[in-house]
């Protein structure tokens, strides 16, 4: 990458590029093609909600006009849920799901509903995020820049906390989150990807508090005045 990498807010026209990156990195940083044959459907389901009212402080990393990665987030689960329902009800969705490819993706969809990601308390950590970079953009600080910019926007908006799901397979991601003081809150062994990964994975839910809850503030004020 010769050109400096620019971090900027997502635009509606980025959806195609962001969806492709989600697919190209959707299996522990490698292509999701192994377990999900239908790329357009994957992209619509995974990134669509962030482009349809569910997203907040979503950013892309761009160099020489090419999008190299993104951070997508939503400030609360209700807003994300409404956007996901919007995607599922879209008239264009059935067109993205020709029977043969969708059939091949069905085992994963069924497993995903059977083995959902662990999540932390939504009241303390109402926001969630996803970050993914193309292989050529990794390891040179772009992830740190995206995450720092995203967290700054969440803090400015007064969001109480943010959570994310990852696995022990995502080594670089774990380092990145550790650098930003995310802490593990929940973990569970999951057989979700076993048919493609060859072994169970350790699913982790990490969280970062961004501001104190009113209750805690009250307690602190009470103890300092006594």
Ligand X SMILES: CC(C)(COP(=O)(O)OP(=O)(O)OC[C@H]1O[C@@H](n2cnc3c(N)ncnc32)[C@H](O)[C@@H]1OP(=O)(O)O)[C@@H](O)C(=O)NCCC(=O)NCCS
Point out which residues bind ligand X (CB under 6 A): 25, 29, 131-133, 138-144, 166, 170-173, 175-176, 179
Residue facing ligand X at closest CB distance:
143
Work out how close the CB of 140 gets to ligand X at its nearest, in angstroms, rounded to a whole number: 5
Question: Residue 165's closest CA among 86, 73, 32?
Answer: 73
d(CA 168, CA 202): 6
Q: How many other C-beta atoms can be found within 10 angstroms of the C-beta atom of residue 89? A: 8
- Tell me how far apart the alpha carbons of residues 54 and 79 are, in angstroms, rounded to a whole number: 5
* Alpha carbon distance 161, 211 (integer Å): 7
Q: Of 123 and 136, which CB lies nearer to ligand X in the complex structure?
A: 136
Go through the chain and tell me how many residues it has: 226
Least distance to ligand X, CB of residue 162, Å: 13
Q: What is the dihedral of CA 170, 172, 173, 176, to 10 degrees?
A: 160
Smallest gap from residue 201 Cβ to ligand X (A):
12
Smaller CB separation from ligand X, 73 or 96: 73
Q: How far is the CB of 153 from ligand X (least distance, A)?
A: 17
Question: Of 96 and 207, which CB lies nearer to ligand X in the complex structure?
Answer: 207
Nearer to ligand X, 57 or 96 (CB): 57
Output the smallest distance, CB 138 to ligand X, in A. Answer: 3
Q: Which is nearer to ligand X, 162 or 173 (CB)?
A: 173
The C-alpha atoms of residue 73 and residue 182 are separated, in whole angstroms, by 15
Q: What 8-state DSSP symbol labels residue 30?
A: B
């Amino acid at each position: 990458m010769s050109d400096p990498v620019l971090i900027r807010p997502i635009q509606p026209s980025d959806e195609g590029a962001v969806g492709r990156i989600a697919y190209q990195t959707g299996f522990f940083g490698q292509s999701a093609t192994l377990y999900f044959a239908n790329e357009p459907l994957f992209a619509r389901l995974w990134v669509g909600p962030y482009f349809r009212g569910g997203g907040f402080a979503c950013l892309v990393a761009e160099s020489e006009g090419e999008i190299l990665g993104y951070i997508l987030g939503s400030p609360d689960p209700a807003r994300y849920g409404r956007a996901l329902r919007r995607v599922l009800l879209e008239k264009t969705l059935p067109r993205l799901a020709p029977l043969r490819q969708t059939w091949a993706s069905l085992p994963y969809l069924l497993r995903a509903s059977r083995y959902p990601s662990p999540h932390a308390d939504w009241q303390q950590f109402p926001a969630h995020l996803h970050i993914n970079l193309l292989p050529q953009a990794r390891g040179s600080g772009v992830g740190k820049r995206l995450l720092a910019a995203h967290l700054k926007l969440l803090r400015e908006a007064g969001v109480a906390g943010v959570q994310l799901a990852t696995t022990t397979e995502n080594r670089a991601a774990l380092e990145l989150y550790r650098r930003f003081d995310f802490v593990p809150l929940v973990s569970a062994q999951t057989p979700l990807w076993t048919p493609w990964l060859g072994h169970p994975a350790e699913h982790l839910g990490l969280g970062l508090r961004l501001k104190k809850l009113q209750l805690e503030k009250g307690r602190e004020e009470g103890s300092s005045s006594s």
